[in-house]
Amino acid sequence: MTSKSAYGAAFAVALFATAQSASAAVVQPQPTPLPPPIAAPQDVPYPGVLTLSVDATDLPHAIMAVHETIPVAGPGPITLLYPRWLPGNHSPSGPIDKLAGLIVSAGGQRLEWTRDPVDVYAFHVEVPAGVSALDLDFQFLSPVSTREGRVVMTPEMLNVEWNAVALYPAGYFSRDIKIDASVKLPTGWTPATALEVASKAGDVVSYKTTTFNTLVDSPLIAGKYYKAFDLDPGGPARVTLDVIADKPEFLEAKPEQIAAHKALVQQAYKVFGSHHYDHYDFLFSLSDRMGGEGLEHHQSSEDGTQPKYFTDWDKSPAGRDLLAHEYTHSWNGKFRRPADLWTPNFNVPMRDSLLWVYEGQTQYWGYVLAARSGLLSKQEALDAIALTAATYDYRVGRSWRALEDTTNDPIIASRRPLSWLSWQRSEDYYSEGQLIWLDADTLIREKTGGAKSLDDFAKAFFGVENGSFVTKTYTFDDVVAALNGVYPYDWATFLHTRLLGHGPGAPLDGVARGGYRLVFTDKETEYQKSVEARRKSTDLMFGLGLSVSKDGKLTDVQWDGPAFKAGLTEGVEIVAVNGETYSGDALKDAVKAAKGAAAPIELIVKTKDEFRTVRIDYHDGLRYPRFERTAATPARLDDILTPRK
């Protein structure tokens, strides 16, 4: 160190000492005490019955107008809650930003409300003497464009999620609060919901008294164009496919398509050996105007997909596991629920640690049941699982982030777009969870010589108490015990290794034991083509390491892959490929031409107003995943995908 810097150091020490002595006289800030906590929910009946009237006729503004009455026991403070933690979303995603116009009154006299300064989902009201009920008027300003969220009101259809249009009193379990709900619909529209109708008067439908818990669990769809299909005539409980669509022609399902949906019910009964509903409604919307959806409930599911689901059947296998997935949730997720995920009302935080069972095994059964029922062909299901296997084998974020940690993603990311999916990971407990359950299923089948399988676990774990839909919670140890009941094994270590490990690569033992290996060829499977068509993208993630939208914008770049190394990121636009205007085919041609050649692939790319030339030194050609049969191992995966007799 030179003398000059020694002088500098001494000077700094002197300054520091001055600052220290000056600070002694300054009053440092101290925290302001928090407001009193919101009353914790108690398991006691709420006195009286709430009433809720939703006017869903203002389609031009996409506004739902709400009138609600909340009985009160006497004078004093009351806290009203807007549902925050939504089952199925596993996150604090209640759309509080869209609640507006709230006026609270009693006997015609306006009462001022104040929002809790910490919990913005809580409203405090002082109830005066002599008041027996509060009147609430407010609006739910549903999104008018996708920028604001999922669109739920269009000129042809709507979707009422009751959590968005209701407040409820704090201090009670939601199952202990009774409510009478009604909805006013556009004239001539047909509603569908798991709620039971009490009466109809003109355009207003009133539903039988239910609990606030069941109300939130029983959303409603309504459509100008509607068709219902009975999926289990003469079965133990009514199961209905309620279809609404943008246009009447999209409702035209062929008999063989309905037969596959009917088979889904029968194949599910064979797996679970039970049902946990009085009746079940698939609330199925075929639209590219209303937002897509897959949201499970005990006695129904909200299932929203592309309008040509029936009419373009052969071209659109991608996503055809949707109904099988959401239906499975009636058993796995609604009837059986992780103990730390179950909450007494919608404002107590959820903990998502066991979503690899709740969603992971549901993802598994979604594809298996879709194949067994004929919603997917066996080949389509194999190709879908191959694509999943490859995707998660390339999920390099495993090296820093264990699968179990991704169960926090509904809370961390709430499905916002990510810059680096393969490195950040995102809700991987769904599809990597699916691979773990394939691993478990094939292990049981191998060790028992095919006598037992994951079907036996499903029956033992989800199939108990037939007919009951009182939620039954479980822990990690309960899962391990049920697996041991099927086949004694060190399941705790099996699961921990896969949930907490760092790879490398995805858990693919189930593929190998299933009689297949993952390979890459230059030919896409028909299934992957349909995925690309659905996403309107060109997917070269397993080779060049990027996927591109129809208009040339990069939608994803594989972490540390060839495109990454060339400096590309999501959002960059490819303008030209080897001197030609960008198209998906031009890019694929360039990849083919570079195979085994020396010259790099040259792209002109645009970021905002800046153009630059990027050279990607990649010569391995097109690479698409598929399964290849390994002759030495029994085709257990084929057995898994075969309909049960």
* Interface residue list for Zn ion (CB under 5 A): 359, 362
Instruction: For Zn ion, give the closer residue by CB, 294 or 543.
Output: 294
Instruction: For Zn ion, give the closer residue by CB, 461 or 582.
Output: 461
Classified as helix, coil or strand, 600 is coil
Instruction: For Zn ion, give the closer residue by CB, 427 or 441.
Output: 427
Instruction: For Zn ion, give the closer residue by CB, 89 or 549.
Output: 89
Cα–Cα separations (whole angstroms), residue 174 to 84, 85, 102, 299, 627: 13, 12, 22, 17, 48
Instruction: For Zn ion, give the closer residue by CB, 362 or 528.
Output: 362
User: What is the nearest approach in angstroms of Zn ion to the Cβ of residue 503?
Assistant: 25
User: What is the nearest approach in angstroms of Zn ion to the Cβ of residue 392?
Assistant: 17
User: What is the nearest approach in angstroms of Zn ion to the Cβ of residue 362?
Assistant: 5
User: What is the nearest approach in angstroms of Zn ion to the Cβ of residue 406?
Assistant: 14
User: What is the nearest approach in angstroms of Zn ion to the Cβ of residue 505?
Assistant: 25
Strands (E), 92-225: 99-106, 109-111, 113-115, 122-127, 133-141, 157-160, 168-169, 178-184, 190-193, 197-201, 204-207, 210-211, 220-223
Sequential DSSP letters for 111-130: E-EEE-SS-TTEEEEEEPTT
**HEC letters along 470-508:** CCEEECHHHHHHHHHHHCCCCHHHHHHHHHHCCCCCCCC
Helix then strand count (H, E) for the chain reads 18, 32
The Cα 143–Cα 475 span in angstroms is 38
Instruction: For Zn ion, give the closer residue by CB, 359 or 404.
Output: 359
User: What is the nearest approach in angstroms of Zn ion to the Cβ of residue 333?
Assistant: 7
Q: If residue 588 lies in a helix (H) or strand (E), which one and from where to where?
A: helix 584-594
Owner of token pair 């006026």:
103
Instruction: For Zn ion, give the closer residue by CB, 87 or 507.
Output: 87
Instruction: For Zn ion, give the closer residue by CB, 301 or 422.
Output: 301
Q: Contact, 300 vs 282, CB < 8 A? A: yes
User: What is the nearest approach in angstroms of Zn ion to the Cβ of residue 462?
Assistant: 14
- In the Cβ-directed half-sphere of 345, how many Cα atoms lie within 13 Å? 27
Residue 349: how many CB atoms within 10 A of its CB?
12
φ, ψ (nearest 5 deg) of residue 187: -55, 130
User: What is the nearest approach in angstroms of Zn ion to the Cβ of residue 463?
Assistant: 19
